Structure 1
C-alpha cells in the first residue's frame, strides 16, 4: 500500500465511541494501511456523546464555515480534528449543531431512531466530500464503514459525478450485520431527489430500512467486504447479484493480509 491514498469514512470509530464491529474495524483498517506505508484520512460524525476535552478535538476554521443544503435548508458545516496518539492518525469530524449536538449517537433514551437520521446521513456524505475537496486530496480508495456513512457511494457517483478529484477513486463498502431496527424517515427518498438524484437510482429507499440502505450503497460501490459473519441472506444475495468483487468475512487476525491483498488485486487492478 506504499504511497496509496485511502479515505476512510465511518459511522463509528474507537476510541471515540464504544467498541463494536463497526467502530473497531474502522480503527483497525486505517491502522493496517498506515503501518504499510499508505496515506490515510479518516472521517466520522462528531456526535454529542464524544468527549471533546478528553479526546482534544478542535475546530479547523479554514475548513469550516460553508453551508450545505439539506432538503432546501441551509445547514452550517463545522469541521473538527483530533489525533489518535499511539497511531499518529488524524481524524476529521463532521459537525453541525442541529444534527450532532445531542448527547447520543443514533437513538434517543428509549432506543428510538432519531427522526432526522436520514438528513444526518445526507449531511455527513456531503460534508465529507466538500471537506476533501477543500483539502484537495485525491484518494485512490474510499472505504466506507457503517450505515450512517452509507449514502457516500450514491452521492459520489451521482451528485458529485463531475468532480474531477474523485474521477479515479474506487469505492469499497464494508457491510456489517450491525444495522438498525425499523426504518428511517418515509420522506428520505424525496430529500435525496431534491439533490437531483433520480428515483430510479434509489428505488429500494421507498422502504428505507437497513438492508435497502446498504443495497443502494452496494449499487454505487466498486467492491464489497463482508465485515460480519451474520450479514442477512437478503443483503448477501443483492451483493452477489451485483457481480462486484467481494471479500468474504475474515477474522480480525486475518484482516491485515486479506484487506491488503483485496485492495491490491481486486480494487486497484
Structure 2
C-alpha cells in the first residue's frame, strides 16, 4: 500500500458515532492503510449528534461556500475537519444546516427514517466529489462504506464520468448487513434523474430499499467486500451475478492482510 492514495467514504465512523460494524471498519481500514504507508482521506456526514467541541471540528473556509443542486434546490455545502490524534488521521465532514443539523443520524425519536434521507444521500455523494476536486487529490481507490454512501459509485460513474481526477480511480464497496427496514422516498429515482443520469441506469431505485441501494452501489463499483456475515441472500445473489472481484467475509481480527492483498491484487491489478 506504500504511496497508494485511498479515499474512504463512510456514513458512520468511530470515534464520532457509536461503534457498530460499519463505523468500526470505517476506522480500522484507513488506520491499516495509514500504517502501511498509504495516503488516505476520510469523509463522513456531519450529523448533529456529533459533539463538535469534544472532537474539535472546525470549518475549512477555503473548501466551503459552494452550493450543490439537489432536486432543483440550491443547498450550501459546508466542510469541517477534525483529527484522530493517536493515528494522525484527518477526517472531512460534509455538512449542511437543512440536512445534518438534527441531533440524530438516520431516524427520528420514534425510529422512523427521516423523509429526506434520499436527498441527504445525494448531497453527501456530490459533496464528497466536489470537495475532493477542490483538494485536487486523485485517489487510486475509493472505498465506500454504509448505505448513506451507496449513491457515490453511481454519481462517480455517471454524473462525474468526464472528471479526469477520477479517471483511473477504482471503486470498492463494502457491503454490510441490512441496517434499515422500509424504503426511502419513492421520488429518489426522479431526484437522481434530475441530475441528467438516464433513468434506465436507475431502475433499481424505483423501490429504494436497503438492498436496492446497495445493488446500485455494487453495479457501479469495481470490486466488493463482504464486510459482515448477515448479508441478505437477495443481495448476495446480485453480487455474485455481477462477476466482479469479491472478498469474502473476514473477521475484523484478521482483516488487515486480507484487505491489503485484495487492494493490491484484485482492485489495482
Contact 1:17–1:23 (8 Å) recurs in 2: yes
1:22-33 matched pairs, under 5 angstroms: 22-33=22-33
Q: Deviations over 1:232-265 (max 9, x none)?
A: 1100000000000000000011100000000000
Q: Are positions 1:69 and 2:69 aligned together?
A: yes
Shift of 1:178: 4.0
Distance in 1 of aligned mates of 2:266 and 2:90: 27
Task: Name the SS for the 2:68 alignment partner.
Answer: strand
Which residue matches 1:145?
145
Q: Deviations over 1:124-183 (max 9, x none)?
A: 000000000000000000000000000000000000000000000000000000421100
Contact 1:153–1:220 (8 Å) recurs in 2: yes
Task: Name the SS for the 1:162 alignment partner.
Answer: coil
Which residue matches 1:78?
78
Which residue matches 2:267?
267
Distance in 2 of aligned mates of 1:140 and 1:52: 31
Contact 2:226–2:246 (8 Å) recurs in 1: yes
Contact 1:21–1:178 (8 Å) recurs in 2: no
Distance in 2 of aligned mates of 1:179 and 1:129: 25
Contact 1:22–1:178 (8 Å) recurs in 2: no
Mark the runs of 5 or more structure 1 residues left unpaired by the alignment.
Answer: none
Which residue matches 1:246?
246
Q: Deviations over 1:60-104 (max 9, x none)?
A: 000000000000000000000000011010000000000000000
Which residue matches 1:20?
20
Please report the TM-score for the alignment, with normalisation by the length of structure 1: 1.00
Distance in 2 of aligned mates of 1:26 and 1:83: 15
Deviates more, 1:198-207 or 1:50-59: 198-207
Distance in 2 of aligned mates of 1:76 and 1:190: 21
Runs of 4+ in 1 over 2 A off after TM superposition: none
Distance in 2 of aligned mates of 1:178 and 1:184: 14
Distance in 1 of aligned mates of 2:121 and 2:65: 19
Distance in 2 of aligned mates of 1:25 and 1:202: 28
Please report the TM-score for the alignment, with normalisation by the length of structure 2: 1.00
Task: Name the SS for the 2:40 alignment partner.
Answer: strand
Which residue matches 1:121?
121
Distance in 2 of aligned mates of 1:228 and 1:60: 35
RMSD of the TM alignment (CA)? 0.4
Distance in 2 of aligned mates of 1:9 and 1:254: 22
